[in-house]
Amino acid sequence: MKKTILAACIATIGMAGAALADAAHGVWQTEVDDGAYAFVTLGPCGGAVCGTITRTFNSSGEYQSENIGRQIVIDMVPNGDGTYEGSVWRPSNNRVYIGRMAVNGNAITLRGCVAGGLICARQNWTRVQ
């Protein structure tokens, strides 16, 4: 009986851990921007999601960009419906924008906006891992 209760407790803890994993966490490939694209690793940062550039690629293949290790997705707070709000950094012009992100399975739509969200640019990222 004790073993059955222990097994049930372990299974419950395991399911709770899986439920707490955020759908946005993982490695994502950006769209090409100014001739290059990146792999961005999204993970927890406090109660939000942040993303760091971990690999970069151009037409010649993988290369060591000075942006590796830089945070590109900044404090994206989940709204509870697969959408997030925070900030995004665009390496090509070194600007930070109002950010919105929506996760749909193995795809993320990421928007960077100015003028209170009236003017936005969008990228679609795909899950690598």
Bridge-based pairing state of the strands 71-78 and 83-90: antiparallel
Joined together, the tokens standing for residue 31 give: 């769209």
- The answer to whether position 6 is within a domain reads no
- The answer to whether position 7 is within a domain reads no
The pLDDT confidence band at residue 117, using thresholds 50, 70 and 90, is: confident
Give per-residue pLDDT as tens, 49-58.
Answer: 999 999 999 9
- The answer to whether position 9 is within a domain reads no
Tell me which amino acid residue 120 is. Answer: C
Q: How many domains does the chain have?
A: 1
- The answer to whether position 116 is within a domain reads yes
Looking at residue 14, what is its pLDDT?
38
Looking at residue 1, what is its pLDDT?
46
Phi-psi region of 115 (alpha: psi -120 to 50; beta: other; left: phi over 0): left
- The answer to whether position 96 is within a domain reads yes
Task: Tell me the mean pLDDT in the region 14-43.
Answer: 81
Looking up residue 44, the CATH number of its domain turns out to be 2.40.128.520
The pTM of the full predicted model, rounded to 2 decimals, is 0.81
For residue 123, the enclosing domain spans 24-127
Joined together, the tokens standing for residue 63 give: 């290369």
- The answer to whether position 120 is within a domain reads yes
Three-state secondary structure readout of 81-111: CCEEEEEEEECCCCEEEEEEEEEECCEEEEE
Q: Would you say residue 106 has pLDDT above 50?
A: yes
Give per-residue pLDDT as tens, 71-81.
Answer: 999 999 999 99
Looking at residue 21, what is its pLDDT?
65
- The answer to whether position 19 is within a domain reads no
The pLDDT confidence band at residue 84, using thresholds 50, 70 and 90, is: very high
- The answer to whether position 117 is within a domain reads yes
Burial of 116 (0-12, 13-18, 19+ CB in 10 A): exposed
Q: Would you say residue 2 has pLDDT above 60?
A: no
